[in-house]
A and B are shown apart, each in its own frame.
Chain A
Amino acid sequence: MALEQLSDVVQRCQALPDDSYTSEDHDVFSIAGQTCIEDGNSAQVLSIILDEKNQDLVRCMGWNLLPALIKVLLRKEDKHLHHCLAILNHLLETCRPKELLIGLLEQLEQDDAVTIAESIHLLLNPLQKVLLCLGSRKASSLSMTLSSVLDQVAKLPLPQTKDQEEDDVFSLCRCCTDLIVFIRPFVHEVRQHLLNSREQSENTDKTEGKQDKENELRTELLKFCMKSLSHPLLEVQLKDPDTLLVSPLRDFATEILNTLSDIGESLASLVHQPLLKRKQLPGFLEEEVRYPKESLASLTHLVFVHHLAADTFPSVFNPVFSLRCNMEHICFLLSRMEETRIQKGLELYEKSLVRVVDGSLPAELLEIKTFLTVPQNLVKVMTICSRHDLRIKSLKVFQLNIDKFDTEAKYNFFQYMLKISGHSGVEGYIIKNIKNQIDVTLQPGNSNTWFEGAHLLPLLRKVLILPDGPETDLLQYLDRVMESLNLLRYLVIRDKVTENQTGIWTELYKIEDMFMKPLRVGLNMSRAHYEKELQNTMEAKKSKAKEEPMLSVSVGDEKLPNMTSESQIQALHSALHTFDMIESVLVRIEELIDVKENL
């Protein structure tokens, strides 16, 4: 039936000039033609399409057959593939590019991941053919195409492990590879134009109109690269050649970097972009839109952590300068919540620091905002991030950062962190570092003005103090208090009263007032309080009186069970042990002071 209808309309239109086809003609052709194809009559449709007499008709209406055609092709039934492909090819050669483009792009939108991947694989080649027919008008169409394709790719699940990448069940890797093949002729065109325009740079610009078009094309490719750097590249963990010898994702990343170079975007300029004051290019996009921060951060990570495109990246830059530039990217990555971003931020930070000699970063760097913001971000990761490995890594990088500062910078950094960290564990960690620095300074040949003498005392005063005086919650501030005690004990042992290199002996009376005495008081109060609590709890347990607790705690919508009496008692014992521990160090210090002062 459909075949007859098709033949009819075709016959009728053979006689008419193409501008007098009615909309009814269009509709009949479209519906009948598509029905034939779906019914399996593609051979007949092919012969109609190929018929010399029908070429005008095909040029006008042929593109309407695309939906059915592609549906059948995606079904991959061998029987009809051959004919359908032939129809498709003929349409691509005959119909108007703009119309074909619309028809093809519509077919990219599919419902499920598998079909999305298949349609991308099927359609990229035809789309390329069509775009290449558009000549100098292709930029905006390329823009539409790339935008649609990337939107579809974003719907595909990402391989996380090496095995998943190898299996590529959802064909993401294949899509990436296809994309690279797709853009190749356009990249080539831009590259050729750049080479030619450079050679002709002396001549007057008669081809200005053409240059604008080429710039548009270049801009679209730049947009594509920037988008790809964000997704999928920032989301996936690339595997190194040792882990996975052939990695389509790594190849994709490399090709994106190469493409950027080919279209005249220097990788070094992109990496250093936050620090360079770029001239506002008379282009189509503003700086921040043109070079999204996230994409640049992703690029920097690829270059510095995975060493991709290493042969195009100059090896003459000062490692400290590279660190300064990278800090901007690191800051961006570490201030995000997604663990993928945080992990890449940490990796980039580590790689950038490792290239710098220990103790070489000067104090002036701390005047740069990122050098203060990034450690704060690290503290957040260390204390709040739900992934254990990231918490560990951020602490490692935090220490690495400290090790790279010179003495004055360390001093300033410690002061700053003590002031702003707001976390007892971090403060304790800093205090331990201070102790280590003092230890290094007291060794022969390492004398400096920061960790002994005049400068040390202000720092010590910030350390050897109880945050809330005698009312300080010793359990909450345990880390900090213990490290402070350890530091004090160290100083009292290490520094001879007669030498007083650290100034501790002249300062001691103040420390006793501000730290040791309040601590004594605090310990006594805390111990009394917890002993009473323990007594109460044990009595309550004995009498089996179940007191309804006044508070409940929920985590993620689940109410936690109330602590059993046993757990409560355990906790209280543990607290009392802690106070014993603190006291033992305090007593030891007092003994040492006694002994030394009486020598």
Chain B
Amino acid sequence: MDVSQMQRQLVDYTASLFREGFLDDQFTQLQQLQDESNPDFVIEVVSLFFEDSERLVNDLGRALNQPIVDFKKVDAHVHQLKGSSSSIGAERVKNSCIAFRNFCEEQNTEGCLRCLQQVKQEYFLVKNKLESLFRLEQQILAAGGSIPLVE
């Protein structure tokens, strides 16, 4: 595949992620903040998000498996995850957190556990997608091409 083909593939792939709701406008904001003085900004922030999310998901699992669930604590974790997913534009993860918080308010353990499953699913999906995106970008750069600018 030549560089222009790869670039087209990247553009199409990125567009599909937006279309399918995995990413929202906030991700575009991140891309626009990246420049020569800050060339790895998006990957850095997204990596922080991956680390943060994995920790939070683990903490949530633990918290919900206590004999007596501390819903305030659970809600605090979900609030954090909602915040970070919102900050990087991971729309589906963010939305699954919104539903999650409702069950926290109702102190509904079953509901919370279901939401946790949903959040995990969305998280792994967007993680895979973003990793594919970054791989594509690296391939283009390695072939001497540049990343198409985001509109």
- A and B part of one assembly: no
**A positions within 8 Å CB-CB of B:** none
> Chain B interface (Cβ within 8 Å of chain A)?
none
